[in-house]
């Protein structure tokens, strides 16, 4: 007789594999024009490929490609004559594996937050600053321009609302997002996300839009909630009362715009996740002046 076994939610949350916790440290030199002239970037985090069947193909010379993707191949970094990316992969007792958008889930947050910080230091509009840095990258530029156009970047907003932007390439697709946020005491409220995607030939536009909407939902859950903590080697959280996910009443309006393209198709199931958290974080900075450098995002009362 067939037997169906189902994990309890408590067992599922406490007994699975988790995304590696990563620490980034970047030192960036800006020239007189406010643009980057040098970039040193160090990442520290456990390899998700070590010990799996993919280790032989994904880990070369001790470097797990998924740990540095989104940084080592970033157009912001690769275009600089003076740049260095280092990786340290400590072993821990925590079981880790991939999570939707893999390494891009943390590298995009860091990179697009850094670009916003650099724009602020240079006294530049964050969109114009990106346009300058991405002038030789037409597909990045294409999604950026479409997203900010559809979001009416320069238009007046309701009182207490601000916009943030992020653009990132992953899995052969290019995605830009503009997030509109407000603040309710120490709670971040996301009202609208405008997304532009260039995934090459759009075989099924409705499916592309659905994937982007799902990616943004997932990305917002990670950006605002979904925190796990460990105590004495065990996960503290057990169910939805203390492991929060994005709820229906928190879901913003999402608009998806597809860039017409004749390029070969890229991936679409994960590429919408990476820009979400930095777009929200950058909007929070524009609203509050607080630069949030950790996920999930948490406003300070100070």
Structure confidence by residue, pLDDT tens digits, 40-70: 999 999 999 999 999 999 999 999 999 999 9
CB atoms within 10 A of CB 187: 11
Confidence band of 302 (pLDDT split at 50, 70, 90): low
Q: How far apart are CA 122 and CA 196, in angstroms?
A: 26
Q: What is the pLDDT of residues 141-155, one digit of tens each?
A: 999 999 999 999 999
Tokens 């970094």, residue located: 77
> Taking Cα atoms as reference points, which of 46, 40, 152 lies closest to residue 90?
46
Q: How far apart are CA 278 and CA 97, in angstroms?
A: 22
CB atoms within 10 A of CB 27: 10
pLDDT for the residue numbered 233? 84
pLDDT for the residue numbered 93? 86
Q: What is the pLDDT of residues 160-196, one digit of tens each?
A: 999 999 999 999 999 999 999 999 999 999 999 999 9
> Taking Cα atoms as reference points, which of 37, 118, 111, 42 lies closest to residue 81?
37
Q: Are 139 and 196 in contact (CB under 8 A)?
A: no
Q: What's the mean pLDDT in 120-130?
A: 98
**Between the CA atoms of 291, 87, 271 and 114, what dihedral angle is there, to the nearest 10 degrees?**
20
Q: Are 41 and 111 in contact (CB under 8 A)?
A: no
Q: Are 175 and 165 in contact (CB under 8 A)?
A: no
Q: How far apart are CA 116 and CA 121, in angstroms?
A: 9
Q: Is the pLDDT of residue 84 over 90?
A: yes
Q: Is the pLDDT of residue 205 over 80?
A: yes
Helix (H, G, I), strand (E, B) or coil at 173: strand
Pairing of strands 59-60, 173-184: unpaired
Q: What's the mean pLDDT in 22-30?
A: 98
Q: What's the mean pLDDT in 215-235?
A: 94
Handedness of CA 278, 282, 283, 287 (dihedral sign): positive
With vertex at residue 221, the alpha carbon angle to CA 216 and CA 240, rounded to the nearest 5 degrees, is: 145
Q: What's the mean pLDDT in 232-245?
A: 92
- CA distances to 9, 13, 97, 141, 262 from 16, rounded to whole Å, are 11, 6, 9, 39, 41
pLDDT for the residue numbered 107? 98
pLDDT for the residue numbered 301? 73
The full set of domains in the chain, from first to last, is: 22-288 (3.30.365.10)
Q: How far apart are CA 266 and CA 68, in angstroms?
A: 20
Share of the chain above pLDDT 90, in %: 93
Share of the chain above pLDDT 70, in %: 100
Residue 117 contacts by C-beta under 8 Å, 6 or more apart in sequence? 291
């Amino acid at each position: 007789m067939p037997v169906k076994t189902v994990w309890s939610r408590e067992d599922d949350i406490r007994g699975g594999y988790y995304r590696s916790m990563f620490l980034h440290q970047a030192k960036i030199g800006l020239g007189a024009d406010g643009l980057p002239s040098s970039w040193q970037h160090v990442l520290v985090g456990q390899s998700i490929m070590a010990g799996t069947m993919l280790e032989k193909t994904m880990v070369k010379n001790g470097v797990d490609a998924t740990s540095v993707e989104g940084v080592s191949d970033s157009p912001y970094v690769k275009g600089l004559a003076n740049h260095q990316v280092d990786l340290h992969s400590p072993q821990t007792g925590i079981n880790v594996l991939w999570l939707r958008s893999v390494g891009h889930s943390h590298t995009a947050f860091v990179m697009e937050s850094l670009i916003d910080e650099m724009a602020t230091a240079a006294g530049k509009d964050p969109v114009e600053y990106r346009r300058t840095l991405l002038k030789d990258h037409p597909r990045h530029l294409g999604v950026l321009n479409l997203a900010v156009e559809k979001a009416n970047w320069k238009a007046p907003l309701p009182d207490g609302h601000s916009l943030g932007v992020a653009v990132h390439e992953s899995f052969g697709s290019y995605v830009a997002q503009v997030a509109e946020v407000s603040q309710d005491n120490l709670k971040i409220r996301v009202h609208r996300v405008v997304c532009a995607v260039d995934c090459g030939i759009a075989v099924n536009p409705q499916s592309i839009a659905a994937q982007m909407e799902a990616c943004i939902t997932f990305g917002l859950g990670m950006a605002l909630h979904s925190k796990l903590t460990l105590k004495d080697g065990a996960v503290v959280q057990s169910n939805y009362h203390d492991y929060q996910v994005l709820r229906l009443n928190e879901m913003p309006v999402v608009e998806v715009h597809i860039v017409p393209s004749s390029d070969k198709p890229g991936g679409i199931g994960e590429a919408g996740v990476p820009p979400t958290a930095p777009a929200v974080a950058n909007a929070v900075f524009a609203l509050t002046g607080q630069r949030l450098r950790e996920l999930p995002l948490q406003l300070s009362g100070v």
